[in-house]
Amino acid sequence: MNLDVLVRQTMDVDGCRRNLDTGIDQPEAEFRRTTGQSSADRRRADDPILVDIDASGFGVKRGQRDLSQISHVLVLLNLANYLVAAVMDDDALTLRHLRLPGSIVLDVPGRLGNVSNEVEIGRGKRGRRAYSFDDVAVVPSRRTRDPQDVSTGWQIDAYHFDIPIMAAPMDSVMSPATAVQFGKLGGLGVLDLEGLWTRYEDPTTQLQEIAALPEEQATRRMQELYDAPILPELITQRLQEIRSAGVTVAGALTPARTQQFYQTVVDAGVDLFVIRGTTVSAEHVSANAEPLNLKRFIYELDVPVIVGGAATYTAALHLMRTGAAGVLVGFGGGAAHTTRVSLGIHAPMASAVADVAAARRDYLDESGGRYVHVIADGGVGRSGDMVKAIACGADAVMIGAGLARASEAPGQGWHWGPEAHHIQLPRGERVHVGTSGTLSEILFGPSSLADGTLNIVGALRRAMATTGYSDVKEFQRVEVVVSPYQPH
């Protein structure tokens, strides 16, 4: 059980804040669940309970550092003359009690225990129940609003975007040209700086070849095509193409190649630097090479960094502590991954986003106000998925397959990621996603399809309006139900 459930005992100022051991004057104590800093957050029903009994010598986890480690707190105040608090954390169950003039017995198992989503797989193993976007849905509640009153704007660091969408740095989605076009439409296009565009002077032939490959040869031939070396001068050239168009410039490297190429990237001039891998941790261990020290790297770099994938609260929290401006959430959730079957690894996206959103909130508190953006990266195939990603706590989404369906997309109806051409262990496949419309129609319509592939910003706008929310940040609070989708 990994519930970081905390209770902060707040008493009124006169008399009660003194040492509980010496007595309290006011018999009526008030427990308030608080978390984070904003009053908006305070009102959230799903906030954890923070324990902070100010009793020198007897305080429960007094001066506790890593509150996320506490899994279960029981506070028992006996009316006779003792205050008893039992704290169960990962390593020990500690029992403490205090002498009191009066006492109170308080047990909150309903809150602490019943919503736990941990299940026992078998006697020797427990696991959390995790949910994908298909498992959840947004429900309308009290209020409705006009779609035109809704703002879909997104601001990260100094950069403002009209739509909360990053285009995924994948060769099937982003070329320098589509990056420019996507930027002009209000989003943030990210170019893969390890893809065909930095390996070939003009990769048009290669893209056409990939689109034409027969099924059984695709993986093998892509392994060969991506074996060509990355040319630093092409990195420079591609980024300058984008910059000259006047849109925000963003390029992506994997952690493994960041040290080798980042200087080229920075020199070429990027506004946002993306470090993207299937799993990126703040603490990479290697016996052979000096691993990338993310914290130091980000600190020394002048450019804001968006980094990921991270799929859990802890992983994301550590990434946030490196100084990143944004964290990409995901692992193998996208259309072009088969990691669940090959690696056994899967991070259901609704749970992953909600976890990382909690890390953002806790890090906001811990850092005294640094707001790190949470970007859902994977599983955002249809407009409904984008809606759900934000409903689960994302500030923005990174879309691959959904934009690969544009008529301008370099993939020409096909979509693939770097996993699809790994030399030793391909963990994805080139998939056919087809073509739905122009990039502009995919984003803003008009639509004549009801399958969530066209007018995706209009869909987000309508979902927000129907549930009464007026901006993306606010919409993270919308009510969600769990109800696995069973199409007929």
- Our CB check for its own copies shows the closer of 178 and 281 to be 281
Handedness of CA 434, 440, 442, 447 (dihedral sign): negative
What's the gap between Cα 1 and its chain centre?
Answer: 22
Contact 51, 61 (CB under 8 A): yes
At residue 63's C-alpha, the angle toward residues 62 and 69, to 5°, is: 90
The owner of tokens 């193998």 is: 332
Quick one: which of 356, 392, 373, 370 has its CA closest to 478?
392
What would the DSSP string read from start to end of 31-74?
EE---SSSHHHHT-TTPPPPP----TTT-TTTT-S-GGGEEEEE
Handedness of CA 226, 171, 383, 312 (dihedral sign): positive
Which residues are paired to 103 by β-bridges?
Answer: 79
CB of 404 to its own copies, least distance (A): 16
d(CA 50, CA 146): 38
CB of 342 to its own copies, least distance (A): 4
d(CA 433, CA 413): 5
Element (H, E) at 218: helix 215-225
d(CA 263, CA 443): 34
- Our CB check for its own copies shows the closer of 191 and 431 to be 431
- Our CB check for its own copies shows the closer of 115 and 212 to be 115
**203 by DSSP, 3-state: which?**
coil
Bridge pairing between strands 191-192 and 250-253: parallel
- Our CB check for its own copies shows the closer of 80 and 158 to be 80
- Our CB check for its own copies shows the closer of 193 and 282 to be 282
The owner of tokens 């296009």 is: 189
CB of 120 to its own copies, least distance (A): 4
CB of 18 to its own copies, least distance (A): 19
Structure tokens at 2: 């990994």
What's the gap between Cα 433 and its chain centre?
Answer: 24
d(CA 365, CA 212): 52
- Our CB check for its own copies shows the closer of 216 and 300 to be 216
CB of 363 to its own copies, least distance (A): 12
CB of 163 to its own copies, least distance (A): 15
CB of 266 to its own copies, least distance (A): 24
CB of 99 to its own copies, least distance (A): 9
CB of 202 to its own copies, least distance (A): 27
Bridge pairing between strands 373-377 and 272-276: unpaired
Contact 197, 191 (CB under 8 A): yes
Contact 312, 282 (CB under 8 A): no
- Our CB check for its own copies shows the closer of 228 and 482 to be 482
Half-sphere exposure of 23 (CA within 13 A, CB side): 2
- Our CB check for its own copies shows the closer of 158 and 425 to be 425
CB of 248 to its own copies, least distance (A): 27
Contact 250, 191 (CB under 8 A): yes
- Our CB check for its own copies shows the closer of 26 and 155 to be 26
- Our CB check for its own copies shows the closer of 138 and 170 to be 138
Bridge pairing between strands 326-329 and 305-310: parallel
d(CA 241, CA 230): 17
- Our CB check for its own copies shows the closer of 195 and 428 to be 428
- Our CB check for its own copies shows the closer of 108 and 266 to be 108
CB of 390 to its own copies, least distance (A): 9
CB of 177 to its own copies, least distance (A): 27
Contact 357, 374 (CB under 8 A): yes
Neighbour-count burial of 314, counting CB atoms closer than 10 A to its CB (0-12 exposed, 13-18 middle, 19+ buried): middle
